[in-house]
Structure 1
């Protein structure tokens, strides 16, 4: 039993403690990118945030914010897990270790995805500050959480 547990822990560390470094070759929206790592494409979903969908209010602005920061540039991704679509989910760092997920929330370009990142208090605080300051999507009178927006479209 101890051997099985040890193997499980080691495998989990390999997959979820993984760090990828690659060039951003596509920005789909404000929370999903593709990077090129050693000639292999990796689709990455940002951990802890949920950006407006492209057809949702502020979706284009959110994507353009991410593009302006990292398109064509080298990023480091700390993998946290894998989502139900098989995408790696991670924390994105660029230019001298700047944490892009946090920047997206601070500037009002994404919501803190509380359901998946309850303990990410830096994201929670950033959202509270962006909301109070009416930054980005918080300029709208009644911004709609992307999760609710997607649910209503089904």
Structure 2
């Protein structure tokens, strides 16, 4: 069973344990974030919703196989978040590579091993050439460079 958090982040239920899985080798556009309690929000990137939808259509509520490449622990504020960096397979298909091939994500070169580098880079080049998905934009900004501005909902703010 799979749930989707972003265009490159899923939650897999394995024997009753929920595992956060970041898709290895890819970086999808960041989705918008809203804190319903405080009213703070961060806008998302162009094509973030489309990448989220594409991944959802592929794996949501499906039984997938994950090939964990490494585990990562992030320290944010007082909370530590752990996730697996993994290749997601559905019926033998490499979902990570499909997301890049279809133009919903960048090949994330920093985290790709030498064995996978050429396949992911070729998939990205091909999507760029065909102007698929996010590559239909003039010059898409990769998520690792994206700096969203925080906004506050005035209904939640009282001076």
User: 1:84 deviation in Å?
Assistant: 3.4
User: 1:114 deviation in Å?
Assistant: 0.6
**Secondary structure in structure 1 of the residue aligned to 2:87:** strand
Equivalence for 2:36: none
Deviation beyond 6 Å, 4+ runs, structure 1: none
Asked if residue 101 in structure 1 is aligned to residue 96 in structure 2, the reply is: yes
Normalized per residue, which structure has more strand? 2
Asked if residue 83 in structure 1 is aligned to residue 72 in structure 2, the reply is: yes
Q: Structure 2: how far apart are the matches of 1:88 and 1:118?
A: 16
Where in structure 2 are the equivalents of 1:1-154 lying within 5 Å? 23-24=1-2, 26-54=3-31, 55-85=44-74, 86-95=82-91, 97-117=92-112, 119=114, 120-149=117-146, 152-153=147-148
What runs of 5+ residues in structure 2 fail to find an aligned partner? 32-43, 75-81, 150-159
What runs of 5+ residues in structure 1 fail to find an aligned partner? 1-22
| Number of residue pairs aligned between Structure 1 and Structure 2 | 128
Q: Which has the higher contact order (CA 8 A, sep 6+)?
A: 2
Q: TM-score, normalised by structure 1?
A: 0.80
Equivalence for 2:34: none
Q: TM-score, normalised by structure 2?
A: 0.78
Normalized per residue, which structure has more helix? 1
